[in-house]
Amino acid sequence: MTSPKVTRRHKESQSTDKNKEKPAPNKTDDESKEKRFKYGPLPSFANQRVWSRGILLLGVVIYILYFSKSTKETVLAKQSEVYIRRSQNVECSKQFLEDIQNYKGCVPQKCGRFVSDKLVTSQEADILLKLAIRVMAQGGSSGGASIMDLHTGALSFNDKFINVYAHNGDNNVLTPEERKIYQLVRKKIQTAIADAFRIEFNSLHLTYPTFFSRLTNVEPKTRHDEYWHEHVDKRTYESFHYTSLLYLNDYNKDFKGGRFVFMDDIDAPSKNVTVEPKKGRVLMFTSGYENPHFVERVQEGSRFAITVSFTCDATKAIQDPKK
Ligand SMILES: O=C(O)CCC(=O)C(=O)O
Ligand SMILES: [Fe+2]
């Protein structure tokens, strides 16, 4: 049995709870303390609410701006890092697969991109850099892109090209050591491409054009100087199947700008993947539509690299430089 007293007490406590839910307009000290605990400290400086709302709004705006940027960017290789091997697979384009099926032992297990900082030593890169600087001093473009092709002898000269071997008469352009290093580096890259894409070393042939480049911020004088356009190597140079780049100096140290950028779609890029040049860094990729790319304009300094190109088509092979 329940005593009437107990029932009344129960009723009283119920009515007290109700009162708590709907506080009276005149708050007691206890009620005000409870509120402070529940909703955090009350404003302690003038306009604190306005400031905090402003900051919150700014955060939302920054978030929206960041995520609505039409092209997102990720870094495949940073200049400050050293990669034994870093890779990214991409689906082979239909055209590339159709074409490469014709070459036995040369079909990649997967299409994609590879970076390695451990193939070419810094000393080897330095020897090739010195060679490029010395030989390019005999010519050089009047615009921002100079090239030197040791296989054909083509060297930029103002707004044209000269033959560097003819220009040097009977004198050798390369020292025996430079020729040795150039061939050694070419073989190392060929081995690395065969290994990365799981193809046969002997199915690959060096092809045209394979060349040194020096890029600067000088205004272009001819279309050859406009090195920053988006392109697909296989479309620009038909014989290419595998492209590689050997970087001879450093992004953000020797030059500013000039990053290599892969795009997911050449017409409507939404995801870019960047590679920051680093002395001795080798970048290798399949040359089809799966790998559209461009080089950012150099803002300061001179950027040196070698484009080393390979084909699976033996009829498009070129020889190592002789002189
Ligand atoms: O220099 C580079 O990083 C890339 C050059 C290039 O895209 C090319 O030679 O086709
Ligand atoms: Fe290219």
199-224 confidence digits (pLDDT tens): 999 999 999 999 999 999 999 999 99
| Cα–Cα dist 1/17, whole Å | 25
Residue 44 CB neighbours (<10 A)? 6
What distance in angstroms lies between residue 88's CA and the mean position of ligand 2's atoms?
17
Angle at Cα 263 formed by Cα 90 and Cα 78, nearest 5°?
85
* Cis peptide preceding 176, ω within 30 of 0: no
Task: Say yes or no to pLDDT of 286 above 90.
Answer: yes
What mean pLDDT is reported for the chain?
Answer: 88
ipTM greater than 0.90: yes
Q: Is the pLDDT of residue 131 over 90?
A: yes
pLDDT tens-digit series, residues 38-82:
555 565 667 777 888 888 888 887 777 666 667 899 999 999 999
Ligand 1 atom closest to 236 (CA): 10
User: Confidence band (pLDDT; 50, 70, 90) for 4?
Assistant: very low
> Which CATH superfamily is 72-316 part of?
q2cbj1_9rhob like domain (2.60.120.620)
Instruction: Decide if 303 is catalytic.
Output: yes
Q: Looking at ligand 1, which residue's alpha carbon is closest to its atom 8?
A: 307
Strand partners, 255: 251, 301
Q: How far apart are CA 290 and CA 262, in angstroms?
A: 9
Give start-end residues of each CATH 2.60.120.620 domain in the chain. 72-316
In degrees and rounded to multiples of 5, residue 30 shows phi and psi of -60, -45
Q: Could you tell which of 147, 213, 282, 287 is best to mutate to test the pocket of ligand 1, judged by most ligand atoms within 8 Å of the CB?
A: 213
Residue 236 has a pLDDT of 97
Residues within 5 Å of ion ligand 2, judged at the Cβ atom: 233
Residue 277 CA: nearest ligand 1 atom is 3
CB within 6 Å of ligand 1 — which residues? 213, 233, 245, 260, 293, 295, 305, 307
Torsion of CA 150, 155, 161, 165, to 10 degrees: -60
